[in-house]
Structure 1
Amino acid sequence: MEKLEDRVFLVTGATSGIGEFTAELLAKERCTLIVHGRDPAKVESLVKSLQKFGAKVHGFVADLSLTSEVRRLGEDVSKQFPVIHGLLNNAGTFAGDYTGKRKVTPEGNEYSLAVNVLAPFLLTSLLLENVRASGAGRVLITSSISAGSTDALSDLQCEKHWSDHRAYELSKLCAACLQSRRDFRDVRSSE
């Protein structure tokens, strides 16, 4: 079994909360660590703070509400890291910008669905060969105890009934469903 310090891990949403905590634990094990965030200054600060533990840390910036940015992140990471031992899809949002109004991305997706569901599914698909190349890689998607009711599945974009909490609950229910699947499809060529 490889030592933890010989392994490569990607943590999305690593600039705060569970992602930052996880990144710090992995950095203390001196892993090669790929950290993601959407704010360049926060990513740069995180990289510097984690390097003090002796880890090799690489920062990437992307707005995961946009599939074009998820694709760019996946391509950039894939090129630099042909083997990934662990992919933690941790980045998430609760109702976008907290205005109390339904927010839609420029691509037409409800914001929570885009970040909490579509992004981890697409990123996993883009990096699946790299994870499989490790021989025993793992993919995790952070979910929540606040997973909504299955009656909302007929309204994934929350067009009929939107509230910040309903959108969040539904996205976390979908994330939990994704986590339980073992056969991620290859969606690199689909739009």
Structure 2
Amino acid sequence: MSTLAPTTPLRDRVAVITGASSGIGEATAEKLASLGARVVVVARRADRLQNLVERIAENGGTAVAIAADVTDTTAVQAAADRVEAELGGADLLFNNAGVMLPAPIEERAAGQWQHQIDLNIAGLMHVIGAFTPQLVRAGQERGVADLINTSSIAAQNIFPTFAVYSATKAYVTHLSRHLRAELGARNVRVSAIEPGIVGTELQSHVTDQGALDWLEGSKKSMEWLTAQDIAETIGFIAALPPRVNLQQVTIMPTAQAG
């Protein structure tokens, strides 16, 4: 028996979610499917994507898994071509894949710097480049399409040892503003989501002891956001009337000061 919500404001929409194998991407895929969208989940871990697709189907939704590394421009284009061929193209893109690897700048952790730049910036651009033609066409045909990018409160606030990560997220926020000016007149809404601390796998990649200590202290002093909190916000943004574009949304734990 279908367990789709009684109201399905995203019915007939095709939503592509990157970084969908865990955390915010996974929760958002489930949320958008519950709102009626056909979701395409993209990440490297095929086994996790398959489990997600099966779970969405059990709950009455529709999902397709595409295993792809967003840093691989050829793989991303192949994913976009598949969405075009099988589903008629995307009209909602949640660009969510990313990594956070803080470290003091004097450590010269060049490999970590490059990994963050490759995934948070270059990967973002590969996905935007591949799917924007579909979004623009959907905006013309449907009257609305959505490009939603995951940034961070780190794009605005200062966190010692998070300089490179914060800079990549500042790029995401500023890029989103420019793309909104470029694409808004073509009925493509562009939004940047700037969460504070969210409990996801993102923290599990951190190796710097100072950053780990700071994260552990913050967990004891406040209740972190959940991936579901962000997913609810994405669903809200996508279901707004076509005339409404939330350009930039900052979502913070109530007790997080900065």
* Shift in Å, 1:45: 0.8
Q: How far has the Cα of 1:145 moved from its partner?
A: 0.3
The CA deviation string for residues 141-172 of structure 1, in whole angstroms up to 9 with x for no partner, is: 100001278xxxxxxxxxxxxx9722211111
Aligned to 1:137: 145
Which has the higher mean CA deviation after the structures are superposed, 48-57 or 78-87? 78-87
Change in CA separation of 1:114 and 1:77 when aligned onto 2, cut-off 3 Å: farther
Partner in structure 1 of residue 203 of structure 2: none
Consecutive aligned runs of 4 or more in structure 1 exceeding 6 Å deviation: none
Distance 2:69 2:111 in 1: 15
Query: Which whole-Å CA distance do the structure 2 matches of 1:63 and 1:122 have between them?
Result: 10
Whether the 8 Å CA contact 1:28–1:55 is kept in 2: the answer is yes
Equivalent position to 1:47, from 47, 53, 56: 53
Give the match for residue 14 of structure 2: 8
Alignment correspondent of 1:154: none
1:51 Cα offset (Å)? 1.2
CA contact (8 A) 1:30 1:54 kept: no
C-alpha separation between the residues in 1 aligned to 2:175 and 2:22?
23
Q: Provide, for residues 78-134 of structure 1, a one-character-per-residue CA deviation record: whole Å limited to 9, x for no partner.
A: 3333332210001111139xxx93327xxxx91111111112222112111211222
Shift of 1:3: 4.5
Q: Which runs of 5+ in 1 are unaligned?
A: 150-162, 185-191
**Matched residue type, 1:12:** T
Q: How does the TM-score come out when normalised to structure 2?
A: 0.57
What letter matches 1:176 in structure 2? T
Bigger fraction of residues in helix: 2
- Look up the match of 1:124: 128
Match of residue 175, structure 1, among 130, 148, 172: 172
The Cα of 1:18 is off from its aligned counterpart by 1.3
Q: What displacement does 1:63 show?
A: 1.5
Write the letter of the residue equivalent to 1:142. T
Instruction: Look at both structures and tell me which one has the larger radius of gyration over its CA atoms.
Output: 2
Distance 1:80 1:167 in 2: 38
- Aligned twin of 2:23: 17
Question: Would the aligned equivalents of 2:121 and 2:168 in 1 still touch at CA under 8 Å?
Answer: yes
Q: Among all aligned residue pairs of Structure 1 and Structure 2, give the percentage whose two residues are the same amino acid.
A: 26
CA RMSD of aligned residues (A): 2.6
Does the aligned pair in 2 maintain the 1:95–1:102 contact within 8 Å? no
| Counterpart residue number, 1:31 | 37
Q: Determine the C-alpha separation between the residues in 2 that align with 1:134 and 1:126.
A: 14
Question: How many residues in Structure 1 have an aligned counterpart in Structure 2?
Answer: 163
SS at match of 1:33: strand
Alpha-carbon distance, 1:173 to partner: 0.9
Residues 3-22 of structure 1 show CA distances to partners (whole Å, capped at 9, x for unaligned) of 42211111111121111121
Quick one: structure 1 residues 54 and 172, their matched pair in 2 at CA, closer, same or farther if it must change by over 3 Å? same
Change (3 A) 1:24 1:143: same
